[in-house]
Chain A
């Protein structure tokens, strides 16, 4: 009995070893064509007829292909390639008409008429008409739980296709940024989406076929693995020169760099600043840096919420340090902040000094006439001395003018931030030179949201915003109306600012609106609502031995933008 049983066990063990070895042997021929040790450039050119595939590496993946429920920027990158819109946002910060030939607005600004191009077809061959355009906008408008896109239709009253080529949008109030609002309202086919137009189907629909009209069509999507697109060679405006694009997901940026160096991908959309030096020495790789397509702002949030006007009905506590409600203190902290050092240490130089919440990546909306507070510790000390914040007990920490408490601030940041700990330590050191003490602490992001706003149960938070191409949302953060909503994170309240915000929201003349937007930035800057340490730059890289023709001369850097992907071609 014993012997019989043990024999098969051994046989199985050996069989497994054999099969394991077999597996190893089988894989050998597959790996050998890669020519170990040699760069991909030395590979023989593929035989004619092989599709030209651009391989992009990124450290993310779309959260969903349903435009209504998508949150991550990776999803929007794919939408921009597969879908068309009435207006398209370009790398130079302007908009151009996409599927519409012309746009007319009535004198009262309430009726917009768009002529839709003829002869556009969806990827499945069905023609795209004004009905599809109107259907799509209504889809976003009617679904209140579409996280982002619904908000763009907030002022839309009716959207109708009056004939096959005409779409008429009427508004409840005039809007100054119709091009921006429409640049996210992707045109989807009515013949597919009509079954998913209403909740809950509208949010449950996974949209894996993803039929659109854009320059690229969906071939295959595997979440957290890859997005495989093929060129739409029949696109009415931008037929790509390459045949296919693959976005492959890697879990970390360091692996991305390695896969670019070894030639497993042709371009990477993100990389750590620490890897820039090594990649610059690689003759096959070019690194590009600059303002990102979707700008990000880091902010130092000072709690200025007034305890007398605390939004207690929505959980307001307003426990902020009283000194931070004094502009003199905030101004002194601004003078005591060496932004260039922050950029050099935290971002390894890949950033530009910040002024207000409106970043330089926003093109002409960015007020570049403002001159930053110079880094001057003596001046900062002088301001605090003059304002009566003196170190009366000689412990190196200044006291409130009435001596009630020392200038000791709690500084919190989200625990998932990579840069914030370094930023916090540098700030702590810089501010200690003007007699300000800080208590540094990383806080779980949810807990931070809870203490932030509208609770205002903090002194200073290091956080940030991702920005739309239009300044409207980041300007709203300065308004009194947004205090109870929790989007005004400082508690700053200024009637002049509130008025200007309303004005810029109805000013139809772009130049006049720009002036108002600049004025708002000037006020926010003068009042030192925030200290903005820096605007972070995008760092991307591509292999020069694989594709050429990347768009590199624009204000913004985004290699995976549709404008690059439709013009690049393989290196001979």
Chain B
């Protein structure tokens, strides 16, 4: 019963956070300065009626919300307009139908663009996460096991250096190294291979993934290694580990049956947080390696003031971060039942 209430409470919090983000996300992009219909087009060929037609196409001819024509500069408007004929409620109504608007830059539905980009990002960051979790945790456990030996110090320094490397810098170094060693340095696949057999395509994509995945793995592996090591060292200092040793269990048994599960809690936290941000992509890595993912889309859209794409991407990231945190909370209550009672 307690667990049930805990679940409901967490889910309720998540839903209300998402609702808050929905509203904030809308107004955030309405208080930014400038005229989005003319973003990036400073050209005498763009006549007044063409600008007006662009405003109609993107729904900018309607008031932002009742009483406000625009928010930057703040221009008061008619409070009696039909709320369903304001940008805010059109935005909400479209959201319920899964529509996120039309990109100013490409004229395509934002939802299509984001879905296309999302899979590329999940592929790249997913592979990077899995690899860095595995390598990081294994090295962390190994370092803690061999605590205060040269192996431990070596792992500690490796972890610290890896985690503090600037991602884009590491990416550029690997890019230069890779381009001289025959690795593809940009894009997701060799153009023109989409008619090739599936296995060939998979191999081609894997080849393109090597450098960006390696960059991602090195950086995040450092984080997991450090957290895992220190958390396991804490646990290994507990009295019940001493008891286990006194019972005559060997080190492997102690680690596997007694220490690891308790040491996993902090790791679960950062994995969950990182997974949430996976959707955002690693903006720097995607930009360095020209990877057509969400991070790249955000990077480009900022430069072009493509607000609908940014708005959609922010929403997607917010929802996935909230969802990942919810999952983390639920996993906690499973790993450590004491959490529920707090």
A interface residue numbers (CB < 8 A to B): 2-3, 6, 10, 13, 16-17, 20, 23, 26-27, 30-32, 34-37, 53, 55, 57, 63-64, 66, 69, 71, 144-148, 150-151, 199-200, 203-204, 206, 219-220, 222-226, 228, 244, 246, 248-252, 254-255, 258-259, 261-262, 264, 416, 444-447, 449-450, 466, 473, 476-477, 482, 485, 487
Contacts and interface: CB of A to CB of B under 8 A. Distances in A.
Given A222-B292, A251-B287, A444-B33, A36 B181 contact: yes
Nearest to B192: A228
B180 A204 contact: no
Interface stretch (B43-51, B218-226, B235-243): B43-51
Given A37-B180, A251-B290, A446-B35, 5 more contacts: A2-B261, A147-B46, A224-B297, A246-B191, A473-B43
Nearest to A39: B180
B195 to A, nearest CB: 9
Top 5 A-B pairs, shortest CB-CB distance: A446-B34, A145-B53, A34-B182, A226-B191, A262-B179
Contacts of A34: 182
Contacts of B40: 71
A450 B191 CA distance: 42
Contacts of B44: 473, 476-477, 482, 485, 487
A226 B46 CA distance: 28
Nearest to B303: A416
B300 interface: yes
9 contacts: A16-B134, A20-B130, A55-B191, A147-B41, A224-B296, A258-B185, A264-B186, A446-B34, A473-B44
Q: Quick one: which of B186, B286, B289 has the most chain A CB within 10 A?
A: B186
A490 to B, nearest CB: 14
Contact of B53 (A144, A473, A485): A144
Contacts of A255: 175, 185-186, 288, 290
A127 B44 CA distance: 37
B132 to A, nearest CB: 11
B185 A259 contact: yes
Contacts of B82: none
Contacts of A225: 187-189, 191, 292
Contact of A6 (B45, B46, B175, B256): B256
A487 B105 CA distance: 22
B107 A250 contact: no
B342 interface: no
A30 B54 contact: no
Contacts of B288: 251-252, 255
Contacts of B189: 225
B182 A36 contact: yes
Given A30-B204, A226-B191, A249-B290, A16 B257 contact: no
Contacts of B48: 485
B126 to A, nearest CB: 11
B292 A64 contact: no
Interface in B90-122: 105-108, 113
Contacts of A17: 134
Interface of A is mostly: mixed
A466 B44 CA distance: 11
A66 B40 CA distance: 18
B42 A66 contact: no
A145 B33 contact: no
A423 to B, nearest CB: 18
Contact of B206 (A26, A444, A485): A26
B186 A248 contact: yes
Contacts of B41: 71, 147
A144 B50 contact: yes
B176 interface: yes
B192 A203 contact: no
Nearest to B36: A446
B292 A264 contact: no
Interface string B166-201: 000000100110011111111111011010000000
A82 B252 CA distance: 66
A252 B287 contact: yes
B192 A244 contact: yes
Nearest to A150: B50
A538 B38 CA distance: 27
B256 A31 contact: no
Given A3-B257, A27-B210, A63-B106, A264 B290 contact: no
B181 A473 contact: no
A57 B105 CA distance: 22
B229 interface: no
Contacts of B192: 53, 219-220, 228, 244, 246
A447 B73 CA distance: 11
Contacts of B179: 258-259, 261-262, 264
A20 B194 CA distance: 24
A30 B305 CA distance: 40
B27 to A, nearest CB: 18
B107 A69 contact: yes
A6 B204 CA distance: 36
Contacts of A482: 44
Q: Quick one: which of B40, B192, B288 has the most chain A CB within 10 A?
A: B192
A444 B34 CA distance: 9
B265 interface: no
B152 to A, nearest CB: 21
B230 to A, nearest CB: 21
Contacts of B108: 64, 206
A203 B181 CA distance: 45
